């Protein structure tokens, strides 16, 4: 409740909210630990929906849930999507839902006006890229590395070629995540893609005891770095 308004004021275009799951297979150690602590503290999908609803009263930026299929399936596709709309959530990222198996949830999300955002990895074939380009709504989540989320010291040399390959087949904005942890990396990615996704580094900074000043400073650094790349782009 405290951090999301800081992110919005600092220049974040979209805020991703995580619904914890016991087997977060796409996430690295930082988010795994955060998910574990959340589950131990009794955080449920319903509580996340309630928090999103309260945040919607405070911020105007789009809110996107990132979670795994099991909690959504257990809640019920129709019920969950209706609840998301009621809480002011704009989209869903579900890393363990491949587009080949997403038709049912796609139908429900479209009927409710939610964006179902698919991921592409560096190992994605041309066939998979075409499928995601056809089905993903809002934007495409481009995974920068073959691996899990988490801050990294450098980005792979193959990233530019991968993004170029996706651009040839997709018309949606491409937002790159997994491993971005500095303003310099964000600037590098901003020269290649439409958006930069940062998660683990922000969670690490949230754990420092400084009243979230480091979070605010870091987000503003990211915003400034991206504005240097595209100064005419609206935040």
Look up residue 65 and give its two tokens.
């849930």
How many helices (DSSP H) and strands (DSSP E) are in the chain? 11, 8
**Is 221 noted as a catalytic residue in this protein?**
no
User: Who's near 209: CB < 8 A, 6+ residues apart?
Assistant: none
pLDDT score for 47: 97
The CA distances from residue 26 to 144, 177, 180, 216, 228, in Å, are: 13, 12, 15, 26, 31
pLDDT of residue 63: 98
Element (H, E) at 142: strand 140-143
Domains of the chain, residue spans: 3-229
Query: Within 13 Å of residue 165, how many CA atoms lie on the same side as its CB?
Result: 18
pLDDT tens digit at each of 235 positions of the chain: 999 999 999 999 999 999 999 887 877 788 888 888 988 999 999 999 999 999 999 999 999 999 999 999 999 999 999 999 999 999 999 999 999 999 999 999 999 999 999 999 999 999 999 999 999 999 999 998 765 444 445 576 889 999 999 999 999 999 999 889 999 999 999 999 999 999 999 999 999 989 999 999 999 999 999 999 854 444 3
| β-sheet bridge partners, residue 116 | 92
Distance CA 177, CA 199 (A): 8
In the DSSP assignment, the letter for residue 179 is: S
Q: Contact 56/4 with Cβ under 8 angstroms? A: no
Catalytic entry in 16, 90, 106, 115: 16
* CA 19/CA 205 separation, integer angstroms: 19
What tokens appear for 137 in the block? Answer: 């709504």
Provide the β-strand partners of residue 92. Answer: 65, 116
Q: Cα angle at 64 between 130 and 86, to 5 degrees?
A: 120
| Catalytic, out of 2, 13, 23, 27 | 27
* 16 in active site: yes
- Burial of 141 by CB count in 10 Å (0-12 exposed, 13-18 middle, 19+ buried)? buried
- Per 3-state DSSP, what percentage of the chain is helix, strand, and coil (rounded to 5)? 50, 10, 40
Q: Which of 139, 40, 159 is nearest to 93 (CA)?
A: 139
Whole-number pLDDT of residue 146: 60
Q: Which fold does the domain 3-229 belong to in CATH?
A: TIM Barrel (3.20.20)
**For residue 185, which of 196, 175, 174 has the smallest C-alpha distance?**
196
d(CA 226, CA 224): 5
């Amino acid at each position: 409740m405290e951090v999301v308004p800081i992110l919005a004021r600092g220049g974040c275009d979209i805020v991703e909210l995580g619904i914890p799951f016991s087997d977060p297979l796409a996430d690295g150690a930082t988010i795994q630990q955060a998910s574990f602590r959340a589950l131990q503290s009794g955080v449920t999908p319903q509580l996340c929906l309630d928090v999103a609803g309260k945040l919607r009263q405070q911020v105007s930026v789009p809110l996107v849930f990132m979670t795994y299929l099991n909690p959504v399936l257990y809640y019920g596709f129709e019920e969950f999507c209706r609840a998301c709309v009621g809480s002011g959530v704009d989209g869903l990222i579900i890393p363990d839902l491949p587009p080949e198996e997403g038709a049912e949830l796609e139908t429900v999300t479209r009927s409710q006006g939610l964006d179902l955002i698919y991921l592409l990895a560096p190992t994605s074939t041309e066939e998979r890229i075409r499928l995601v380009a056809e089905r993903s709504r809002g934007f495409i989540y481009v995974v920068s590395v073959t691996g899990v989320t988490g801050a990294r010291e450098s980005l792979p040399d193959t990233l530019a070629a991968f993004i170029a390959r996706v651009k040839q087949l997709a018309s949606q904005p491409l937002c790159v995540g997994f491993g971005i942890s500095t303003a310099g990396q964000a600037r590098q990615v901003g020269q290649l893609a439409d958006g930069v996704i940062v998660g683990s580094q922000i969670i690490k900074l949230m754990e420092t005891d400084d009243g979230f000043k480091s979070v605010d400073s870091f987000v503003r650094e990211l915003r400034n770095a991206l504005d240097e790349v595209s100064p005419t782009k609206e935040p």
